[in-house]
Amino acid sequence: MKKIGIINVTSYSGLELLRLIKNHPEVSVTQVTGRSLAGKNLNEVFPSINNNLIIQDEIKESVDLIFSCLPHKASAEVIGKYINNGVKTIDLSADFRLPLELYESTYESKHPYPSLISEFTYGLPELNREQIKSSQFISNPGCFPTCGTIPLLPFIGKGIENIIIDAKTGISGAGRSNKIEHNFSEISDNFSAYSLNGHRHEPEIENNLNFKLHLTTHLAPMIRGIFSTIYFQSKSEINIEKYSDYFLSHPFVNILDKSPNVKDVRGTNNCNIYIQKLNNKFGSNSYRLVSVIDNLTKGASGQAIQNMNLMFDFEETLGLNNMALYP
């Protein structure tokens, strides 16, 4: 049984890791940390977890792998010492997803450990499965980049253009913050766009695909989920059947014959996709993709466990075959 440590377990992604790992037959969470709740019992703070671990201020004993659920910059500052000691690490922040110059311009801060960036593999299994298997350190993708990148993977190097991603997310994507705009009375019965001057996940998607594109993000009145509508034009007609065939070796990607719903993937590690050719208003080869994921599962913790499975040479789907939480 592999021993797992979770840094900042009190975040939504940390709690989602606990929920998913509880049913994993090959690993066990033995240590957890929390920035403000050190010394408390997990059951005391989160009764739904049913776990008696004590929240610590740091990982103090040997573990086989660490998940870091800290925000960007804070994560790199904390996990540097574990990386230097050779502990397998999966970082759920943005700290090791981008080349140094792009990271510092996007996140407007100096990187705490620039020399370590090259040690990390970008943890999108649908893009880098074989590299992940042999890696010690994984940068887990962002939620919007996961939902936006996967549907476009078959078109890398195929000459598509005019790409627009229109994405909506649930409030859990903002984390456990206490900002006024995240209060129930502000979110309920409301819908708004944000980061219109450039969302931080846009460069990440462009870096994955080597495409230029526009990303518009919206906050929807739901807790979990991302719903992305992607428009693009192709220089040649796309064979939809061959598009589906591209994903046959990817166990969590499902190509549907109708538009997916967010609730179809809630609590799962699935990415459900629908592709449609549009009429000729803007040219003969205009297309629309609809993609949905759970931002906390495939967009964060579920994908992190998928990466862990690959790193330990477990079955890729181990612990992740749960049904959607519906309704």
Would you please indicate which residues are annotated as catalytic (active-site) residues? 143
CA dihedral 24, 30, 35, 38 (to 10 degrees): 130
Extract the runs of DSSP E, i.e. beta strands, from the chain. Answer: 2-7, 27-33, 55-56, 65-68, 88-91, 120-122, 137-139, 160-169, 192-194, 213-219, 226-234, 253-255, 271-277, 286-293
Q: Report the candidate in 324, 311, 224, 229 with the shortest Cα–Cα distance to residue 270.
A: 324
Helix, strand, or coil (residue 290): strand
Q: What is the C-alpha separation between 68 and 84, in angstroms, rounded?
A: 15
Question: Which residue pairs, CB below 8 angstroms and at least 24 apart, start in 116-125?
Answer: 116/76, 116/80, 116/83, 119/83, 120/91, 120/96, 122/97, 122/208, 123/90, 123/303, 123/304, 123/307, 124/149, 124/150, 124/208, 124/303, 125/250, 125/303, 125/306, 125/307, 125/310, 125/316
Task: Enumerate residues 6+ apart whose C-beta is below 8 A from 302.
Answer: 16, 20, 268, 269, 294, 296, 320
Do residues 72 and 93 make contact, with C-beta atoms less than 8 angstroms apart?
A: yes
Helix (H) and strand (E) counts in the chain: 10, 14
